[in-house]
Amino acid sequence: MAPRLRREKYQLVGSHSAVKKCNWLHQSLVRGRVCYKQRFYGIQSHRCLQMTPSVYYCTLRCLFCWRVQPEDLGLRFEVDEVTFPKPDDPTYIVEESIKAQRRILTGYKSHREIDPKKYEEALNPSHAAISLTGEPTLYPLLGDLIGEFHRRNMTTFLVTNGTNPKALSQLNHEPSQLYISLHSPTEEVFARVCRPQIGDAWGKVLESLGLLKSFSCPTVIRLTLARNLNMVRVEDYAKLIVKAESTYVEVKSYMYVGFSRRRLTYEHMPTHDEIRSFSEKLSELTGYKIVDEARDSRIVLLSRIGKPIRIGKG
């Protein structure tokens, strides 16, 4: 799988981590356009490092996932193989991830349309999105990894699919913001759409949602919705959100990109207006207020507390 990941322009780090350039980093440097995370939370797109400490392993095989999955390559990883017998040191991962980001940026130095000051800032990332691919909570030293990023004055977003609540409950360092990706409103839809690779995965997602109130950092429930797939039963989504009491809810469209095109069709991708309509129904049912949206990313932000907290400096 490693050779294919390299062809897909992943920068492999150590034995189980990776970095990859986000399209919004490129857009920010070359065209001055920024990611919704900068619009919503102040995270500077050109200084955002997109990485994972678990590039090879995930507990789900979501149909709408744009990432390469083992089955896409004719491979199979059993869940019993999801182990880190010798996990890489967190300091090593952070150092090598920053080096990987700088390798990614090398070709931009001579680009005539890039502000030199902005390029120099990009070489020193200020934020780590721990989300790229795989399930990051499978890395057993995740809390120490977050702490190491923070030691370097970087903020962190941790994105998990919620199937490893034990790891969340044992984090010794909280991220700057915690995301749980809620892909389905019910267990039946979850089994069909997310194709769990472990037992009682839905029960574990519910347990993780129940942990959100124990975190002092802002928390987010993210819905990635695909038409005629999991964009259903808004009332059931609302019940889960109300019970979890996350700080925010992000309602985002599935995008017909990457390896998801082998599993779904263009017709599965909702329009922004459809996402907005779904969000308005969620708002009515939950009491969360729509506070922002980004049409180019087809995403709407709902909040329980009003305007979002500005975590970054963008």
Domains of the chain in start order, with CATH, are 2-303 (3.20.20.70)
Q: Which helix (H) or strand (E) holds 119?
A: helix 116-122
Q: What is the pLDDT of residue 72?
A: 64
Q: What is the pLDDT of residue 79?
A: 44
Q: What is the pLDDT of residue 76?
A: 56
Q: What is the pLDDT of residue 240?
A: 98
Instruction: Locate 222 and state its tokens.
Output: 């993210």
pTM score, whole prediction:
0.93
Instruction: Locate 215 and state its tokens.
Output: 């975190």
Q: What is the pLDDT of residue 291?
A: 97
Q: What is the pLDDT of residue 83?
A: 60
Give φ, ψ of 51 to 5 degrees.
Answer: -145, 170
Q: What residue has token string 């979890």?
A: 244
Angle at 129 between CA 271 and CA 37, to 5 degrees: 45
For CA atoms 303, 309, 312, 314, give the dihedral sign.
positive
Give the integer Cα–Cα distance in Å for 184 and 161: 11
pLDDT in tens, the chain (314 residues): 777 788 778 899 999 999 999 999 999 999 999 999 999 999 999 999 999 999 988 999 999 988 777 666 665 554 444 566 689 999 999 999 999 999 999 988 878 788 889 999 999 999 999 998 899 999 999 999 999 999 999 999 999 999 999 999 999 999 999 999 999 999 999 999 999 999 999 999 999 999 999 999 999 999 999 999 999 999 999 999 999 999 999 999 999 988 888 899 999 999 999 999 999 999 999 999 999 999 999 999 999 998 888 898 65
